[in-house]
Structure 1
């Protein structure tokens, strides 16, 4: 693995690596060619102009000749110019007309809105108009919560930015491209999969394409707060003094050295003014008169006001301490056992990507029915609404980037992309008290190249945010004997070990789990991060009849019996909370395009396994916090 991995990580924070394959040719947009790009934190707590709603759309069947030329370069002509055809006198305009085109709802994936696009993977062009009034001394950005997978943005025919990655936000400055009055924005979204993408060409969830999260215009002063971190001071040990001391930083974009920044938390008696350094960063430490620490039992949030010049951001932030002590996970100095479920960003009832308050409320309602205190948000960053709801609701979260299985771990540009995605996830959510784990991967092959890649990435996560715990979901060793020892060297880089296994479904019979004796080569906390079996709701039979609710429930009974005997277990997340779409699940009448391992159906119907898990969680009978 190239030694440049770590050295390059800081310079890639606001840079994109974009590998495009089109028309049979490969083209790479290198780091040096990409413009610096701002990523604004806390957009959902600023005054914005929503651009949600109907957007006109046009479909490009592969090869996408309007987006890419014969060498794979992105074209700024054609659809990007948003012209209208002159049907009487010409000239031709590539023969398209956004204004006469149908509309898609934004946010929303195209697959669940247009039946002809249900399995479409390729390029869809979006267009809409917006009103703009320039204000002296201000800048305006187009904020996109997420679009899958590659996005290219033009305003009034001028390309203003591009982004790779389907699950993190990006901001495009429109100040210079927009004019007073009516303006038009065109966004080309390409969901085509490529080998060196993250995730890569094959994965076990549905490849929802489109602008899947909120879009808005954000107007800020010339010098504005784009990033901040406010947290409990994280010392070597947790103490009462540390529980009353806050620290962090505020970054002011384009600020000169000595610019004043004020941090106010009235309820905690904090009113602190500091100044920026030459890089626009103002670090601070502040004593709080008293703090109620955030926990599932008391999810206390404080109003935090950050101000510099004419800019001010008000956020709601909870304060808590996380660390490990041997095999214990400590929250605010006390051991905690995590009982939860894996959650995909699949909307209950209606289907498609999660992007509404109602979607989030439904998912958390199912978690509450289970008596869960924890959720693994798999296998990519979810809509920011999830973290906001968890902050208020007291549910602890695991958040991860989509390094899933067959990643090109031998390529430095793929590592660079992983670092960018990691930074974007952390930057967006580092002030969310509910997020307790950053995960760097799921089910990756155990070899030296992969281990170096993920160890470097885990260390980068730890440097970027030393206040949270780092984890990853491991596979192996192969479950064939009663003695099972996990020796994956990646565990050395983790604070908490995630272990996936499917005894009773992919391997052996459910009862075989009872005899298994697990040991781990590290003395660290272990979370059984995936386990379970598939069952179609309403399909009944015996305890060993596959695809029945009874067999799924039987698997859980024996899984829990096994886990109770493992001293290091500090959490469990069954796979999965709710059935979700996957193009790899194609057994008619049993799967019909769904992964059926849910405790709930996609219509929120409870399977028999739900009651097994609910009872165990309610009685706290699986494992101990210490």
Structure 2
């Protein structure tokens, strides 16, 4: 009998564990609308009322039990004797999009819960579906509309949405969001990172209206291995078999109709597009029309592949002259919130001589990706599987895969993106290798035409010979190497003598290299934190890179100084990682011109 009871307990535990996993997957499952900028939408940006709630009193009672009537109810006094200990309308305000850390001094270091409330009207339109679309909230968001919970989203850098059809009132809808950016050991990213944990509704919020039968998603690109054929699919919501979809690309003379089968219309057509490249980032206007809906996009066509140690763009070798970029706002710090801030960062990268950017260490905004594409940058895009995440935790893997899927789903039509990255600086172990192997397979299942990479820092060897033999190298298409010779180890002049050995016949990108410097601090070349020391590190690391015959590109660390909780040296760092080639105020350091010269000389 005891054995039977034990078995039953084990089965019950497994059921509850799997149910919890399924619930996490369900809550994060996003059937996202593609390309909301081509939709009928109303912005919910602007001033929102907030309540700072470090003890989560708005969610839990004093017994730590969820309240039936928490802050999400937006309760109001009806008679003088009513006891209601919160009031959004008389509390603080924050601007959305934006982070709370840079907007309010008392929240500078804050990690925890802040409740947001927005009141808005809705003018009823017949035969319309409505979605609340959030470009990103960091990190966990519980969303309520007029007191009803719509759902939960976990992950700070990817979009999500909720269907609110028939849930809106003509007047005084109250949208309330419990935002929690507490770091958690099991999260993606995990507790320990090297960038600021900006909390809040950090990207735009939209109320999107579409017809009941609408175009939900689509993928349009060159056929795999071909340059004279375009193919793709269009997914419709609430449609019928044999409905017709029209795809029109006027410049290419494409005007075709295709039938819907099980909600999907597929097509393949001969065409000879001008191939997108950094010198001529050609984008074509693509119009997709269904019986009740129409959407337009700007799409480029190019091929990307590898051949031994080379990366081939449109069949020709290309050296990726890159720089890493955090989503840190120039001049004012805080999270990037505007297209203009994106363009400023990209113009600096262009001035540096770059044709390639690494968007570290998480998916950047859709505006950043689209503006980079227009300007001719090739892009490395990654998810925050960073340092020592819990690789043996199934929920952690599920979280990482959800973020990966959402990143690829949003940006799969962007020709500029050539690399999906699954990790950065993760320590080798059996569980880590299995975790990342599964993620690389997921990339290939979702996108068979782009390359997969990861940034590694587990090279072996001695001071002069560095061997790339991380097991992950077997699964990625392009190997990223983070190496800080001259900063975290060795004198700068020793870097020129470093030799690299690659056990994989694959291209390598020097995904990070660099040193810290306080802009305006000058001294001898052997004096830490001076511009001269940083310049010296770049000088000898560039010599090292020139001697790597399998090097296909570089994305040194980093374009601009950025906020980080790890940086405590008050009169130098002042909460900034100082490895930027440009200060947070937009002033270049000496090493900027060193790297610029290298890129100008490199074909």
**Structures share a fold, TM > 0.5?**
yes
- Residue 49 of structure 2 corresponds to residue 59 of structure 1: no
Q: Deviations over 1:504-546 (max 9, x none)?
A: 0001111111211101110000000001011111111111111
Match of residue 269 from structure 1: 253
From 358, 374, 397, the equivalent of 2:379 is: 397
Contact 1:540 1:548 in 2 (8 A): yes
Q: Deviations over 1:175-224 (max 9, x none)?
A: 13212233111111100111111000110000000000011110011121
- Using structure 2 for the length normalisation, give the TM-score: 0.94
Q: Cα offset for 1:76?
A: 5.4
- Residue 431 of structure 2 corresponds to residue 449 of structure 1: yes
From 67, 91, 102, the equivalent of 1:101 is: 91
From 556, 561, 568, the equivalent of 2:550 is: 568
Q: Cα offset for 1:277?
A: 2.2
Contact 2:460 2:469 in 1 (8 A): no
From 154, 161, 167, the equivalent of 1:177 is: 167
Alpha-carbon separation, structure 1, partners of 2:361 and 2:26: 30
- Residue 495 of structure 2 corresponds to residue 504 of structure 1: no
Give the 3-state SS of the residue equivalent to 1:453 in structure 2: helix
Alpha-carbon separation, structure 1, partners of 2:512 and 2:25: 40
- Residue 440 of structure 2 corresponds to residue 463 of structure 1: no
Farther off after superposition, 43-52 or 366-375: 43-52
From 220, 225, 228, the equivalent of 2:215 is: 225
Give the 3-state SS of the residue equivalent to 1:111 in structure 2: helix
Alpha-carbon separation, structure 2, partners of 1:33 and 1:372: 41
Match of residue 85 from structure 1: 77
Alpha-carbon separation, structure 1, partners of 2:62 and 2:415: 48
Change (3 A) 1:246 1:123: same
- Number of equivalences: 585
Match of residue 579 from structure 2: 597
Change (3 A) 1:69 1:397: farther
Match of residue 507 from structure 2: 525
Q: Cα offset for 1:559?
A: 0.3
Match of residue 559 from structure 1: 541
Q: How does 1:141-156 map to 2 (within 5 A)?
A: 141-156=131-146
Contact 2:30 2:406 in 1 (8 A): no
Match of residue 8 from structure 1: none
Change (3 A) 1:84 1:261: same
- Residue 176 of structure 2 corresponds to residue 193 of structure 1: no
Contact 2:40 2:210 in 1 (8 A): no
Q: Cα offset for 1:398?
A: 0.4
Q: Cα offset for 1:258?
A: 2.6
Match of residue 138 from structure 1: 128
Change (3 A) 1:374 1:184: same
Alpha-carbon separation, structure 1, partners of 2:313 and 2:378: 10
Contact 1:76 1:159 in 2 (8 A): no
Q: Cα offset for 1:304?
A: 0.7
Q: Deviations over 1:287-342 (max 9, x none)?
A: 22x31111001001111111222111101111111111111111111110001110
Contact 2:568 2:575 in 1 (8 A): yes
- Using structure 1 for the length normalisation, give the TM-score: 0.91
Change (3 A) 1:35 1:425: closer
- Residue 115 of structure 2 corresponds to residue 125 of structure 1: yes
Contact 1:145 1:169 in 2 (8 A): yes
Match of residue 591 from structure 2: 609
Give the 3-state SS of the residue equivalent to 1:148 in structure 2: coil
Change (3 A) 1:227 1:509: same
Alpha-carbon separation, structure 2, partners of 1:432 and 1:482: 40
Give the 3-state SS of the residue equivalent to 2:517 in structure 1: coil
Contact 1:110 1:208 in 2 (8 A): yes
Alpha-carbon separation, structure 2, partners of 1:459 and 1:607: 41
Change (3 A) 1:97 1:265: same
From 241, 257, 269, the equivalent of 2:241 is: 257
Match of residue 428 from structure 1: 410
Q: Deviations over 1:414-455 (max 9, x none)?
A: 111111111100010011111111000100011111011101
Alpha-carbon separation, structure 2, partners of 1:35 and 1:255: 24
Give the 3-state SS of the residue equivalent to 2:220 in structure 1: strand
Match of residue 10 from structure 2: none
Give the 3-state SS of the residue equivalent to 2:218 in structure 1: strand
Match of residue 40 from structure 1: 33
- Residue 287 of structure 2 corresponds to residue 287 of structure 1: no
Alpha-carbon separation, structure 2, partners of 1:76 and 1:291: 58
Q: Cα offset for 1:156?
A: 0.7
- Residue 339 of structure 2 corresponds to residue 339 of structure 1: no
Alpha-carbon separation, structure 1, partners of 2:305 and 2:220: 17
Give the 3-state SS of the residue equivalent to 1:184 in structure 2: strand
Contact 1:143 1:171 in 2 (8 A): yes
Alpha-carbon separation, structure 2, partners of 1:209 and 1:309: 42
Alpha-carbon separation, structure 1, partners of 2:541 and 2:437: 30
From 398, 407, 413, the equivalent of 1:416 is: 398
Q: Deviations over 1:385-417 (max 9, x none)?
A: 111101110011100000001111101121111
Contact 1:328 1:335 in 2 (8 A): yes
Change (3 A) 1:329 1:66: same
- Unpaired runs of 5+ residues, structure 1, are 1-18, 20-26, 236-241
Give the 3-state SS of the residue equivalent to 1:359 in structure 2: helix
Q: Cα offset for 1:71?
A: 8.6
Alpha-carbon separation, structure 1, partners of 2:407 and 2:63: 32
Alpha-carbon separation, structure 1, partners of 2:447 and 2:545: 31
Change (3 A) 1:499 1:73: farther
Change (3 A) 1:367 1:101: same
- Unpaired runs of 5+ residues, structure 2, are 1-16
Alpha-carbon separation, structure 1, partners of 2:517 and 2:279: 33
Change (3 A) 1:75 1:460: farther
From 219, 225, 231, the equivalent of 1:247 is: 231
- Residue 214 of structure 2 corresponds to residue 202 of structure 1: no
Q: Cα offset for 1:478?
A: 4.9
Change (3 A) 1:480 1:167: same
Q: Cα offset for 1:32?
A: 7.1
